[in-house]
Each structure stands twice: as structure tokens, then as C-alpha cells.
Amino acid sequence: MKKLSFAEENYLKAVYHLSNAGEFDVTTNSIAEEMDTKAASVSDMLRRLSEKEMVVYRKYQGVKISEKGKIAALQVIRKHRLWEVFLVEKLKFNWDQVHEIAEQLEHIKSPLLIQRLDDFLGHPKFDPHGDPIPDENGLFKEKPQVPLAEVEISGDGIVVAVKDTNSMFLQHLDRIGIYLGAKTKVTEKVEFDGSMEILVDGKNKLFISKEVAENVLVTH
Amino acid sequence: MKKLSFAEENYLKAVYHLSNAGEFDVTTNSIAEEMDTKAASVSDMLRRLSEKEMVVYRKYQGVKISEKGKIAALQVIRKHRLWEVFLVEKLKFNWDQVHEIAEQLEHIKSPLLIQRLDDFLGHPKFDPHGDPIPDENGLFKEKPQVPLAEVEISGDGIVVAVKDTNSMFLQHLDRIGIYLGAKTKVTEKVEFDGSMEILVDGKNKLFISKEVAENVLVTH
DNA sequence: ATTTATTTTTAGATTAATCTAATATTATTT
DNA sequence: AAATAATATTAGATTAATCTAAAAATAAAT
């Protein structure tokens, strides 16, 4: 099976990420939005990916990733996340600076390189945003993650991931003192606007908006 | 000035590498051969690179790299060689395995990444094949290198580079016990076929062919 | 259950990078 | 110096990836 182009890999990742439980639940427009491109380009690419059997595509209905496609997508995701670990752990980048660079590095084709990189990094299981790193077979364990917004009062948690990974949001988190691994306790919830008060590491009292509460994920 | 495409960067590197002292001394066919492509494709690309003022192109006469083009080419070469150091020093690749992967990595666009990588590697001045690594400004010092073939009898040297970097040749060197940093002494030269006898590290007596002697570079 | 609105696909163009085949230029050899 | 050979360029096609505008299909609303 021929190598995928960068563009094909990116579309495949988008389909994978937009998939939920449902069958054919990924729409053309959602892919176009995610990838900042036009619906017409998406239709075209879905036809091509379908020919290569990377997705199952039903015109006007939606698309789902195939088994073959899922394996390919997970390898790209594996590479992306391993490179992110490298950038943060070894090259001292901040977690809000690594996404763009990893978007480029994820397309480098060399299984041996990724194996060696994985060895070098000590086989990390999670990336700097707390997302799990699939192994060579695409297997990974998801930590059960809940948005802070859904934690009940006095509930404890550890920040393990963020839903929104855009740079502005991550910088805001840094500024207010929320980081990966921080211990959280919900001390107050404001019904009408979804904001809440939390205690970080048992000492810093913080007010966070609904937007922040919905995008910070914790395990409990 | 817009970013160069991967293809443009590769052509630019080829023009740079094929340049000698002369003006417009790089020919279409030599580029086509170096890049394993057709002369027609080269003509086309030279026209485009010329429009971007990366090369000075005289139809039917030849091409030379521009100042702007040289800077761009040296940055790509810098990245290539830094990644090679990373692969060998950190990921434990052999020097004959890194070229292909570095060919991909050299196109990653992020000045900060390269600065950090350079820091991480301790600002190496030479890559695993002994080639100098240009600094951020494209400056580098060339070690004075001489092919073993040109060393006179009883002349000492240290292997610092190879002219031919193809994998088969490097593997051959590994097999016969010639490596970067090896100490050499020419003990005998055979006039009629250009072969010679050398002593590696003062203990291993080796017979090497003219081809090998011409492609192994030493300082003395 | 039609009409209207939304979503999706197709048709037709465009750009980058490549190719083959034909043409043009330069170099070499009688 | 004309003929031949070698090199290089252009013309015309092709493929991947994109776009805009038009057409088709589905969903929503009256």
C-alpha cells in the first residue's frame, strides 16, 4: 500500500478526531471547518481516501474511518505526540508552543526513527497535553477524563488534558496557574453562568469561567 | 519573501552543491542527474527559482546560486547536518542510516526549533560524515581535507569526511574498518591502479582500492 | 407536502511539480 | 563551414490539491 501524502494524512486525522460512537457521523462541513478549507476540497479528498480504502464514504450521508484508515491515523497521532514530548522534555519548549511544529514532524516517514525516538524518550504514555500516545499497534489507554465543569462541589481531580489546545487558551491557563498535573478541588459552582471557584494544589483559590471549566479535563 | 517548497529547497541545495569556483558552471543535466529527475523538469524549476531570485539563470548557459539563494541553501544544509548529529548522537543511528531521514527533517520550518536543537546538541561544528555545520548566518569553517589518494607515502591523517555518502560505500567502510576519526598512515602506494596500503590506528593493515582512496578524506 | 434553506457534490479553473516528445541552441567533428 | 551530436528548452499532458460557482440532495419550516 502506497504512502499517504501529507494532505491525506491530515484529512485522515481530522476524520479520526471528529468520529464519535456513531456510524458515518463525520460530516463534510465539520472536516472543512476543522481543517480550515472548503467543503468542495473535502468532498474531493474523501473520494480519493475512499478509493484507497482509508475511509468508508457515503455521499451526502457522511464518512467513517476504515480499520486500515484508523491504523494509519493512529500512527500519525503517535508520531505527533512523541514529537511533542521530545520538544517539551528535551528541547525545553512550553506546551503551548509545540503543536505547530509537531504538525510538521508527524509526517516524517521512518518507522525506525519513531521506534528510536520512543526509546530515547523512555516510552512515554502521554503527551504534554495529557493525551495518550498510541503504541506501535495503535493501542492506548485513555485516562477517564471529565471537564472541570462536570465535577460536583468538593470534588477532587488532577488536570490531565485540555480540550481546546489553541495557544491563547494555553497561555491563559499558564497565566492563571493551571497546569498539567495540578490538583484541583471544586469549592463553588455558580449556576447561572457556569463559572466556578476552585482550589489549585490546596492553596491557590481561582475563579474560572464556564469556558475554562469546560475545556480543562481532570481525572478523579 | 514566501517560504520555499520542499522541491524548491532540494533544487537549491543541488545548485549549491554542484557549484565550483566558476560562474554559471552548474548545468541542467548535472542537476537532473543529481536529483534523479528529467532535464525538462530542471529547466522548469530553474525558471521558477530565477523568478524568486534564488538563482541567476542564463538559458543554455548555466546557472549560479544568488546570494539570497545561498543563504536559503545553507539554512537547509544546516538543518540537515544538525538532524544528522541528533540521529547519530542521541538516537544511536549509524552514520550510513541517517541521510534519508535527514532529507525529510531538513524541510521542517521553525527557526526556534533549530536554535533549540543546536543548543541541545551542544553547538556541533561538524556532522557525522565530517561535513561542517553552517551557523545561523551560514558561516562555517571547512577543515582542509585531502583524499587519501593524494597523501604521500608515510603521511599521517585523520579521517574527517567522505566524498561519496551513498549507503553502500559507507557500509563498505564500516566493513573494512574505516570510520570517522580513524588515524591513518599510508604505508604503500601502487602506481598503476591507484590502490594503496594503509595502517589504521597504528595496528590494522588495510589494502584499499583507488575508488576508496579517492573518496575517503583526511586532514593532516 | 410543498417550499425554503442548508449541506454536499460536481464541473471547471488554477498552481506546483512532474513527465514525454518536439524544437531550439550550442558544441564537436569531419 | 556544414553536418552531426550533445544539451537544453518549450509545448502539451498528467496528477494532486486546491478554489469558486453551479447543480443536486437532504433537512427544516411553513
DSSP string, A128-167: TTS-B---TTS-------EEGGGSPTT-EEEEEEES---H
- The verdict on B151 and B202 lying in the same domain is yes
Please report whether residue B70 resides in a domain: no
pLDDT in the model for residue B167: 87
Question: Can you give the CATH number for the domain in which B14 is found?
Answer: 1.10.10.10
Instruction: Write out pLDDT tens, residues A37-54.
Output: 999 999 999 999 999 999
Q: C-alpha dihedral over B98, B103, B107, B113, to 10 degrees?
A: 10
**Out of A90, A100, A109, whose CB is closest to B120?**
A90
Chain B partners within 8 Å of A105 (Cβ): 105, 108
- The verdict on B92 and B131 lying in the same domain is yes
Give the residue on B whose Cα is nearest the Cα of A101: B110
Q: Edge to edge, what strands does the sheet with A196-200 contain? A: A146-147, A216-219, A156-162, A183-189, A196-200, A204-208
pLDDT beneath 50, residues of chain B:
none
- The verdict on B42 and B96 lying in the same domain is no
Question: What residues make up the domain containing A205?
Answer: 146-219
Q: Is B32 helix (H, G, I), strand (E, B) or coil?
A: helix
Per the CB < 8 Å rule, is B104 touching A105? no
Strand (E) or helix (H) holding A204: strand A204-208
Q: Using an 8 Å Cβ cutoff, are B126 and B132 in contact?
A: yes
Q: How far is CA B25 from CA A94, B9, B30, B58, B77, in A?
A: 46, 19, 10, 11, 21
- The verdict on B127 and B150 lying in the same domain is no
Smallest CA–CA distance, residue B174 to chain A, in Å, is 20
Which of A65, A81, A110 represents a domain boundary (last residue)? A65
Give the residue on B whose Cα is nearest the Cα of A115: B91
Q: What total number of domains does chain B contain?
A: 3
CB proximity A8–strand D (7 Å threshold): yes
Per the CB < 8 Å rule, is A104 touching B101? no
pLDDT in the model for residue A69: 97
Chain B partners within 8 Å of A90 (Cβ): 120
CB proximity B44–strand D (7 Å threshold): yes
- The verdict on B172 and B155 lying in the same domain is yes
Please report whether residue A215 resides in a domain: yes
Please report whether residue A96 resides in a domain: no
DSSP state of B188: E
In the structure, how far is the CA atom of residue B41 from the C1' atom of nucleotide D15, in angstroms? 15
CB proximity B219–strand C (7 Å threshold): no
Give the residue on B whose Cα is nearest the Cα of A108: B104
Instruction: Write out pLDDT tens, residues A141-195.
Output: 887 889 999 999 999 888 988 998 888 999 999 999 999 889 899 999 999 999 9
Please report whether residue A107 resides in a domain: no
Please report whether residue B1 resides in a domain: no
All cell numbers assigned to A155: 470534588
CB proximity A50–strand C (7 Å threshold): no
Strand C: list positions under 7 Å from protein Cβ: 7-12, 16-22, 25-26
Q: To probe the interface with B, which of A5, A101, A121 has the most B CB atoms within 10 Å?
A: A101
pLDDT in the model for residue A97: 92
CB proximity A47–strand D (7 Å threshold): no
- The verdict on B54 and B115 lying in the same domain is no
Please report whether residue A120 resides in a domain: no
Q: C1' nearest to CA of A30: which nucleotide?
A: C7
For chain A, count helices (H), then strands (E): 8, 8
CB proximity A29–strand D (7 Å threshold): no
Please report whether residue A123 resides in a domain: no
Which of A20, A45, A65 represents a domain boundary (last residue)? A65
pLDDT in the model for residue B12: 98
- The verdict on B127 and B151 lying in the same domain is no
State the average pLDDT over residues A188-207: 94
Q: How far is CA A24 from CA A55, A63, A64, A65, in A?
A: 10, 4, 5, 8
CB proximity B109–strand D (7 Å threshold): no
Please report whether residue A18 resides in a domain: yes
Q: How far apart are CA B200 and CA A202, in angstroms?
A: 65
Residue A212 is which amino acid?
A: V
All cell numbers assigned to B29: 543535466
Q: C1' nearest to CA of B29: which nucleotide?
A: D7
Residue A179 is which amino acid?
A: Y
Smallest CA–CA distance, residue B81 to chain A, in Å, is 16
Residues of chain A that touch chain B, judged by Cβ-Cβ distance less than 8 Å: 87, 90-93, 97, 100-101, 104-105, 108-110, 112-113, 116-117, 119-120
Per the CB < 8 Å rule, is A104 touching B108? yes
Contacts 24+ apart (CB under 8 A), B117-125: B117/A91, B117/B82, B117/B83, B117/B86, B118/B82, B119/A91, B120/A90, B120/A91, B120/B86, B121/B82, B121/B85, B121/B86, B121/B89, B121/B90, B124/B82, B124/B85, B124/B89
Place of cell 604503500: B188
Task: Find the angle CA(A110)-CA(A87)-CA(A118) to the nearest 5 degrees.
Answer: 45
Strand (E) or helix (H) holding B75: helix B67-85
Question: Can you give the CATH number for the domain in which B196 is found?
Answer: 2.30.30.90
For C24, nearest residue by CA–C1' is B60
Instruction: Write out pLDDT tens, residues A101-152.
Output: 999 999 999 999 999 999 999 999 999 887 899 999 999 988 788 999 999 9
Instruction: Write out pLDDT tens, residues B75-99.
Output: 999 999 999 999 999 999 998 899 9
All cell numbers assigned to A120: 530515547
pLDDT in the model for residue B21: 76
